[in-house]
Amino acid sequence: RADAIETDAVIVGAGPVGLFQVFELGLLEIKAHIIDSLAYPGGQCIELYPDKPIYDIPAVPMCTGKELTDNLLKQIEPFGAGFHLGQEVTVVQKREDGRFFVETSKGTQFLTRTVFVAGGVGSFQPRTLKVDGVEKYEGSQVHYRVKSPEQFAGKNLLIIGGGDSALDWALNFCAANADGNPHKAESVILVHRRDGFRAAPASVAKMKELCDAMEMQFIVGQATGIEEADGQLSGVKITGNDGITRIVPCDQVLAFFGLSPKLGPIADWGLALERKQIVVDTEKFETSVPGIFAVGDVNTYPGKKKLILSGFHECALAAFGAAPYVFPEKRIHLQYTTTSPKLHKVLGVE
């Protein structure tokens, strides 16, 4: 544990509420690191509705999910929180010295005085292919995200899905991109359950052009089984809308069905839960484990409403609740950002 990052606070989840938690902690001079399983901050606002307007943020008559996230990121800039994205918090353990040991799926470790769970509806995980026997090939021949594109060079690829990820990767790996494309596949077959796509129209048009030029193939249908040979996956059974099942041979399968949230490891940290939500008090938003707080959609208390507005309020009170763990000797006073020279200093607006 020698290289664990030592900090005052670890925030699990970089949705709008986790981001604002950085701000409220920063005003009290509590240093924070923030972690999200997604590769970008913003939580549901970015994952589910980046371009939709939100009308109930106080004093902001209208902003989109993306604008809210961008503004929160700007607002918390002065506090220089450490961002650790694309990794899920898997372990939270209380130690004998009162601090918490926190570890992520990428092996990043922290020793922290307080933990703020802002995990929303859970960490977003790729939806998987629901076909018998597929699990044992996940990571070797079946993939839900592209970690290293070079792995697919020169291979016969079956790409399943109708959104931007499926189309972008199909075009990327397609033979027609051969000019200097180091990841060119041997062949690309795209499979989608219907001849209509959620992906950008320009990508769909390009895909159709490539199909006409016989550079790739598009099949309407759904994966219903796999074929195996010599302990390897050798093909996928695709059932078309005509009810006929065809075997499509391939070396590698890439399935992009979007992301779905799962409470995941949060359920294993010994916190009192009620219907998959973390029980907190409404004075400090502290959980059943002293030093661990829960804010935003992930918590529950009498009268809870899952609104961004409520989450922001919870962040302020949780920060005050956490201060005695970080500064046991210090008396914390409420100060106004308009008039406090001390807050101007921490905000860098002197």
Residues in contact with ligand FAD by the rule CB under 6 A: 12-18, 35-38, 43-45, 48-49, 54, 56, 88-89, 118-124, 264-266, 296-298, 306-309, 311
75 marked ligand binding residue:
no
Q: How far apart are CA 299 and CA 288, in angstroms?
A: 12
Q: Residues with Cβ < 8 Å from 155, sequence gap 6 or more?
A: 185, 186, 251, 252
Which one, 275 or 331, has the nearer CB to ligand FAD?
275
Strand partners, 7: 112
Q: How far apart are CA 285 and CA 227, in angstroms?
A: 52
Q: Residues with Cβ < 8 Å from 103, sequence gap 6 or more?
A: 89, 90, 91, 109, 110
Which one, 49 or 208, has the nearer CB to ligand FAD?
49
CB of 62 to ligand FAD, least distance (A): 10
Residue 161 vs residues 12, 14, 72, 157, 192: alpha-carbon distances, Å: 30, 27, 33, 13, 5
Q: Please name the residue that has the structure tokens 């077959």.
A: 189
Q: Please name the residue that has the structure tokens 């195996």.
A: 228
238-247, Cβ contacts within 8 angstroms, sequence gap of 24 or more: 238/191, 241/194, 246/219, 246/221
CB of 264 to ligand FAD, least distance (A): 5
89 marked ligand binding residue:
yes
Which one, 213 or 307, has the nearer CB to ligand FAD?
307
Which one, 20 or 173, has the nearer CB to ligand FAD?
20
CB of 309 to ligand FAD, least distance (A): 6
CB of 49 to ligand FAD, least distance (A): 4
Q: Is 101 left (phi over 0), alpha (psi -120 to 50) or beta?
A: beta
Which one, 52 or 208, has the nearer CB to ligand FAD?
52
124 marked ligand binding residue:
yes
279 marked ligand binding residue:
no
CB of 90 to ligand FAD, least distance (A): 7
325 marked ligand binding residue:
no
Known binding site for FAD: residues?
A: 36, 44, 49, 89, 124, 297, 338
Annotated binding-site residues read 36, 44, 49, 89, 124, 297, 338
